[in-house]
Amino acid sequence: MTDSTEDRSSPDAPAAVPDATAVAPAPMQQARTPLGRRQSVLPVLEKLAELYPQLFGAEFLPLKLGIFQELLAKHPDHLERSSLKAALGIHTRSTAYLQCVAAGRSRHDLQGAPVEAVAPEHVYLALLELFRRRQSRSGQDLRPRLRKQILAAFESSGLSRQDYQARVHGNDEDANALLAEAFAEHNQERARQEALRRAFEASGKTVIEFAAMYGLDARDVNRALGREAIERSETGPRSGPPTEQN
């Protein structure tokens, strides 16, 4: 396993928990991992990569809940409680690990098999932490990108807006403001798509004709209208509304 100590121990990394599956319990927190501690657990990280390269090797996967206890029980001669806890804490604070969580990948067991979905709040917190790390090094405002990522995570969660907000809303006012901005953009986009749909329905045109009429890209119109509109564009102009027959 290559030495990735710097990546695994970012100075603004969030705190971990014993089972190493929570992502960032306190947004905006600046928890530092002492250099001596990082160096002391490096052999444990190397051992984990040797035993489970599919989880701790060149690429990371989100870990299943309770994997800390499983590792202790399975390898009592190689892994000690305190050093394993510290190693998993550093591992789950790494940028690479947070990226796979933010991507919404499933949690995996020791065999590398997907076993459960990552909780929406963990995906959200990983996105926030990655945003903070990138924003601190960037001369650009990365908030628009984060808002799009939050909306994509929300749509992937399958939750209602109310339920999603209840699960991810916290005490960090900056994070809450970003969440509110993301949903404000969501509402604006929904309103735009609805206006586009109504205009298309009233036009009697195919998608291609409608796009040309308003100077739009037909692909953007198709995405806004959905599959039904795509099918209509393939069948020619729409006929008028059906008339009642006696």
Structure confidence by residue, pLDDT tens digits, 195-242: 888 888 898 888 898 889 888 888 888 877 774 444 444 444 444 444
Does 3 score more than 70 pLDDT? no
Residue 127 DSSP SS3: helix
- The answer to which of 20-29, 39-48, 112-121, 154-163 has the lowest mean pLDDT is 20-29
CA separation for the pair 151, 179 (Å, rounded): 9
* 178-187: pLDDT as tens digits: 999 999 988 8
What's the pLDDT at 187? 86
Beta bridge partners of 56: 60
Question: What is the CATH architecture of 5-137?
Answer: Orthogonal Bundle (1.10)
Band of pLDDT at residue 38, cut at 50, 70 and 90: low
Amino acid at 79: L
Where is pLDDT greater, at 18 or 168? 168
Residues 6+ apart with CB under 8 A from 129: 12, 13, 14, 23, 24, 27, 98
Alpha-helical regions (H) of 65-172? 67-74, 81-93, 95-102, 120-137, 143-157, 161-168
Neighbours of 222 (CB within 10 A): 18
> Tokens for 72?
């202790």
CA separation for the pair 33, 113 (Å, rounded): 30
- Angle at Cα 87 formed by Cα 83 and Cα 89, nearest 5°? 115
Neighbours of 233 (CB within 10 A): 21
